[in-house]
Structure 1
Amino acid sequence: MFSTLFVFEIVAVFTVRTLCCRVDEYITRDGQCCPMCHEGTVVRRDCTLQSGTRCVPCERGTFMNQANGLNKCFTCTSCDPAHGLSALQTCTAVNNTVCEVINGHFCKSLTDTGCSLAEKHTHCIPGQGIKEPGTSRNDTVCEDCQPGYFSPDGVNCTAWTICSETQVQVKEGSQTIDIVCGAPGALSASRHHYLLIPPFLLFFSLVCLMSKHKCLFCISA
């Protein structure tokens, strides 16, 4: 019974102290109500019976965007170009930095104060084309080239070349390379392969041949 009353008294005291502070006041560590500091400032010294709250401006690189009873300003967000971000709005004493994505990137995490996380646009691989170009809000969408089309650089799918009536197809096309056309003789020539024998190898072969068939070079007695 005693413990229940004790807990009730603590809750009651805390509630009374909370309710005694107005909307524009904050509670100090010793339970006193003091006027809040304005935006761009924080508390340096709590109020007393003789003086009000003493506030100090936020230092450079920090901000405070609300009335408060805090003793430390918030750190300004850094827009790092290495992570695909640049500053759209610089940080002030009352507002945080607003970041935006740089070209070639898209935002993966968008907040009320700008982009907090960016990523590079996807580069389509050879054999693919760009279905939807990347924007500041969305990544690039890639798609495979259809049969009869090719893309060597992963940008656009282009239709294979159609050989003319006076040409023949010398090389087949694929998703990454075009068809190669040429004169009818080019196809025949491409099918013939010639073996080039170095001079020293040819000489060595002749010597071996002569040693195996000495009778051809001997004079009968």
Structure 2
Amino acid sequence: MFSMLVVLVGVSLFEPASTCRHKEYPTSDGQCCPMCQEGTVVARDCTAESGTRCVPCETGTYMNQPNGLKKCLSCATCDPGLGLFAKQNCKSTSDTVCDVLSGFFCKSLTDSTGCSTAERHSVCKPGERIKQPGTSRHDTVCEACQQGSFSPNGVNCTLWTKCSENQTPVQDGSLTADVVCSSGSPRYRYFLSLPFVCFLILCLVLSTTNLWVCDLNNC
């Protein structure tokens, strides 16, 4: 019985700790050392004579929580070529926060780093209109023009022109082009030209008659 007790005590003395306490981290040799604070990382693990040695994060890096790491995290970059700009610059204790430039919307948004992926707003096609303009969080919404209207540039739909009583359509309207009206009615031109034609016929008859009368009189 006594020998069993000795064995159990021996096992408990030499068994390594399964977990470290709150705000401690395990080292490679099985010790538990105090964590470094935000904005710093471990330069040297603790020893029996001294605590953990911490060093600040260098420019371009950060650490946003207590840790036992040897390297700080790299700051995110907001690439203008991808539609992003730095809404909040990187600090030793927090990462860069990105947002989108005008004309772009965010496709991937996180609380810690803001927008990580952006895309340019869609452009509506001719024959469509902008139903909802794009925002920093949503893309442009387009819809087709209704029958009887057109949009040559994909912005707004405009009703087709109605030709007046003195005009006639020479080109039908479409989703991308307006109705084209003639400058005057063919009927109006017909009635306008009829008296002129009659006048020419009358002149021709009179001229022929005069020649015939003159021939009889030996003019």
TM bucket by the smaller chain? Answer: 0.7 to 0.9
- Residue equivalent to 2:38: 39
- Residue equivalent to 1:178: 178
Offset at residue 107 of structure 1 (A)? 0.6
Unaligned runs of 5+ in 1: 1-8, 190-221
- Residue equivalent to 1:84: 83
Offset at residue 41 of structure 1 (A)? 0.3
Offset at residue 184 of structure 1 (A)? 2.9
- Residue equivalent to 2:211: none
Structural mapping, 1:71-150, within 5 Å: 71-113=70-112, 114-150=114-150
Structure 2 CA distance, aligned partners of 1:150 and 1:168? 19
Q: SS where residue 100 of structure 1 aligns?
A: strand
Structure 1 CA distance, aligned partners of 2:174 and 2:105? 32
Structure 1 CA distance, aligned partners of 2:57 and 2:64? 10
- Residue equivalent to 2:216: none
Q: SS where residue 18 of structure 1 aligns?
A: coil
Question: Paired residues, what number?
Answer: 176
1:184 maps to a residue whose letter is G
- Residue equivalent to 1:204: none
2:95 maps to a residue whose letter is N
Structure 1 CA distance, aligned partners of 2:70 and 2:133? 47
Structure 1 CA distance, aligned partners of 2:93 and 2:160? 60
Contact 2:166 2:185 in 1 (8 A): no
Tell me the C-alpha RMSD between the 2 structures: 2.1
Offset at residue 18 of structure 1 (A)? 3.2
Contact 2:42 2:68 in 1 (8 A): yes
Contact 1:37 1:53 in 2 (8 A): yes
Contact 2:100 2:118 in 1 (8 A): yes
- Residue equivalent to 1:69: 68
State the TM-score, normalized to the length of structure 1.
0.75
Structure 2 CA distance, aligned partners of 1:45 and 1:56? 9
Unaligned runs of 5+ in 2: 1-10, 190-219
Q: SS where residue 184 of structure 1 aligns?
A: coil
Give the fraction of aligned pairs with identical amino acids, expressed as a percent: 61
Structural mapping, 1:128-207, within 5 Å: 128-184=128-184
Q: Highest Rg: 1 or 2?
A: 2
Cα displacement string for residues 6-30 of structure 1 (whole angstroms, at most 9, x for unaligned residues): xxx8xx94xx5233x2211111011
Contact 1:41 1:58 in 2 (8 A): yes
